[in-house]
Chains A and B, each alone.
Chain A
């Protein structure tokens, strides 16, 4: 089962895991990305493309399912305004054994950061507002997965 969502609502990690894990899997790996409140950050806004963001996530999910033998895959990204502590992204990957679940979840978060149309804007308590710049290390991590 592949479940891919782009949503403005808070991600309910517990409910999503229960749904993902229904029936039980041998091995499940997860990645949870949360908003950090560094430097007095008060809001993180995620801009997205109405069609391409979801399509990009779905393409990555199917690439992972083609590459590893997965019994379930959940990939959810939140968009819009978020506060420190909020969950931005949830990746759940399950397989019969740990290696495939761990590799698939790492692949998904690495490639998501370079391939999917999403842009972060930070607002700080002192009034500063700015768009987050891409990190060079992210590109290198994503390229490790090239076939």
Chain B
């Protein structure tokens, strides 16, 4: 199982702050995860229609779309940050 945490408008569009999912074996990296979530249901299509607007962190470290999911415990998905 993979824990996914959502933030900001990604969280709002998904309707939950996080979930534990069984990811298919062929979903190997962040880009594939976004595509899979986007195709899974309507809320996913709404949240991940523009994957270039989504950033990811795997187990606390910011990662690019090519980052592999193997060994990941938690993936956070969110829009570009706007603090400060």
Chain A interface (Cβ < 8 Å from any Cβ of B): 33, 46-49, 51-53, 55, 77, 88-89, 109, 112-121, 131-134, 138
Beta-carbon contact of A134 and B60 below 8 Å: no
19 contacts between A and B (CB under 8 A): A46-B83, A47-B8, A88-B83, A113-B83, A114-B80, A115-B62, A115-B81, A116-B81, A117-B57, A118-B81, A119-B8, A121-B8, A131-B9, A131-B79, A133-B80, A133-B82, A134-B79, A134-B81, A138-B84
Which of A33, A51, A88, A114 sits near B81, CB closer than 8 Å?
A114
Beta-carbon contact of B76 and A49 below 8 Å: yes
Residues of A within 8 A of B80 (CB): 114, 133-134
Beta-carbon contact of B60 and A119 below 8 Å: no
Residues of B within 8 A of A112 (CB): 83-84
Most buried by A among B57, B78, B80, B83: B83
Beta-carbon contact of A119 and B57 below 8 Å: no
Beta-carbon contact of A52 and B57 below 8 Å: yes
Contact residues of A: prevailing secondary structure: mixed
Inter-chain pairs besides A49-B57, A120-B82, A134-B80, 12 sampled, C-beta below 8 Å: A46-B83, A47-B7, A53-B83, A55-B60, A115-B62, A116-B81, A117-B7, A117-B81, A118-B84, A120-B83, A131-B8, A131-B9
B5 at the binding interface (Cβ < 8 Å): yes
A88 to B83, CA, bound (A): 9
A53 to B7, CA, bound (A): 12
A49 to B62, CA, bound (A): 13
1/0 contact string of B41-84 vs chain A (CB within 8 Å): 00000000000000001001010000000000000101111111
Question: Which residues of B in the span 1-53 have a Cβ within 8 Å of any Cβ on A?
Answer: 5, 7-9
Whole-angstrom distance from the CB of B59 to the nearest CB of chain A? Answer: 10
Which of B5, B7, B60, B83 sits near A116, CB closer than 8 Å?
B83
Whole-angstrom distance from the CB of A45 to the nearest CB of chain B? Answer: 10
